[in-house]
Amino acid sequence: MSRFLRFVLSATLILLPSLALAQTKINLEVQYPLGFIFDKVFAELKTEFEKANPDITVTYRPAYKEYEDAAQTALRQAITKQLPDVALQAINMQRLFVDRGIAVDISPFIAKEKDWKGDGFSDSMMALGTFNGKPYGLAFAVSTPIIYFNEDLVVKAGGNPNNFPKTWDGIIELANKIKALGNDTVGLYHSWQITGNWLWQALVFSHGGAMMSADEKAVAFNGDAGQRSIELLGRLVREGNMPDLAHEAARSTFFAGKMGIWTESTSLLRVADDSVGGRFKWRTATFPVPGPNAKLPTGGAAALMFASTPEKQAAAWRFMKFITGAEGATMMVKGTGYMPPNSVPANDPKMLKSFYETRPNHLTSLAQQPFMTAWYAFPGENNLKIISTIKDRLQTVVDKSAEPKAALSAMSDDVGKLLPK
């Protein structure tokens, strides 16, 4: 054999593995919501995942605007057979895809894992994506409602940032003192619009109530806890002088230093840091829990598998496991404000332990873990319509076009008509 032929043969043997890899490389399509929160995080997740999985390329579709948009878009994609392989959906929207047979049961993949619980996937977090006894979703980002407050405005109004009010009465009183500072300062804003009903659930659950009866056949949010919750929303408007603002406008008002007290998701901690930019001091406080057996709905997103072929499902599983595992959860927490769905990072000095020690605002939501309960998903085909209906009725309280009790009665009637018969 000539020297030239030996050179060609050697070069071919060297190139064969890379050629084979190129031919078998899997392109995984992923879609997630809330780009202004998650874009940087998912960019980092893609980089690190592809380093560890060179046979998979992750392609992100344009981010869903919000959780309702994510669900509606994915349901349309299912009809046109254009679903991504993995989708991040709101924790309370998973049921839509399970009931319709769109989400893939991931129990066979979990069964092959050597030490699933030891890898940090606790029963409590797995329960957030389990339906009819089977796991479908892996919690990716977990949140509870908390209070953000402008420390500078609180001090100017005579309040004590180290002893922030723990009751709604105290919060309303402080908010009025902040508003009295003038200069178009907003005393308080309750982000009631988040995903249509998340903070409505927070009010009802924190008063010890429920969304539906145990058999899911009748509305339960019109009971005593719901009555007290809708009256509280009315008080925030009438006594707390809460303005009728769009969600984005309220957020901008706080970031501009013109709002004293703001109820929101812990998810915006990183966004708040970036947006405030050190122009004023701000802190977080726990959400009031006035009722017996008080709970708070667990917000956030979960990863669902929509891939249909065995090859794509295997790749989707590796990606889902990575972003919700210890390494992925660490990146997600540092880049947002959500709590980790994985139990490993919080106690690991190389992951989140030292991060939490220097960031007290992130500890507020962790302190509320004993109150965490499922973000309720309404049954039946009309889940999204029910959420929209609740939001519309809450709007009438905020814009003062209806009295709180009348709004609750109408809301109950409207939702009742949309429940499965």
Kindly report, residue by residue over 200-256, the tens digit of the pLDDT.
999 999 999 999 999 999 999 999 999 999 999 999 999 999 999 999 999 999 999
Phi/psi of residue 180, each to 5°?
-65, -10
Share of the chain above pLDDT 70, in %: 95
Find out whether 380 and 420 touch, Cβ atoms under 8 Å: yes
Query: 3-state DSSP call for residue 337?
Result: coil
pLDDT tens figures, 120-157 = 999 999 999 999 999 999 999 999 999 999 999 999 99
Q: What is the pLDDT of residue 138?
A: 98
CA distance 165 to 255: 21
Distances from the Cα of 86 to the Cα of 63, 98, 111, 226, 394, angstroms: 13, 14, 20, 36, 33
Q: Name the CATH topology of 145-295+379-418.
A: D-Maltodextrin-Binding Protein; domain 2 (3.40.190)
Q: Locate the domains of the chain by residue range.
A: 26-143+298-373, 145-295+379-418
Average pLDDT in the 169-176 region? Answer: 98
Residue 7 predicted with pLDDT over 50: no
Band of the pLDDT at 8, cuts 50, 70, 90?
very low
pLDDT tens figures, 352-382 = 999 999 999 999 998 999 999 999 999 999 9
Band of the pLDDT at 421, cuts 50, 70, 90?
confident
Q: Between 141 and 1, name the one with better pLDDT.
A: 141
Strands 134-135 and 282-286: unpaired
CA distance 75 to 138: 19
Q: Which residues of 323-355 are buried (b: 16+ CB within 10 A; e: fewer)?
A: bbbbbbbbbbbbbbbbbbbbbbbbeeeebbeee
CA distance 409 to 406: 5
Q: Which of 269, 264, 228, 250 is nearest to 408 (CA)?
A: 228
Dig out the tokens for 390 from the structure. 């609740």
Strands 86-90 and 26-31: parallel
Average pLDDT in the 44-64 region? Answer: 98
Find out whether 142 and 339 touch, Cβ atoms under 8 Å: yes
Find out whether 309 and 315 touch, Cβ atoms under 8 Å: no
Residue in the block written with tokens 């679903």 = 83
Q: What is the pLDDT of residue 282?
A: 98
pLDDT tens figures, 149-170 = 999 999 999 999 999 999 999 9
For 302, how many CA atoms within 13 A lie in the half-sphere containing its CB? 30
Longest CA–CA separation in the chain, Å: 94
**What's the predicted TM-score (pTM) here?**
0.89
Band of the pLDDT at 19, cuts 50, 70, 90?
very low
Distances from the Cα of 107 to the Cα of 76, 112, 136, angstroms: 26, 9, 8
Does the domain at 26-143+298-373 match CATH 3.30.70.20? Answer given as no
CA distance 287 to 264: 9
CA distance 394 to 348: 43
pLDDT tens figures, 403-414 = 999 999 999 999
Q: What is the pLDDT of residue 24?
A: 80
Q: Which of 16-25, 70-79, 292-301, 306-315 has the lowest mean pLDDT?
A: 16-25
Q: Same CATH fold, 145-295+379-418 and 26-143+298-373? A: yes
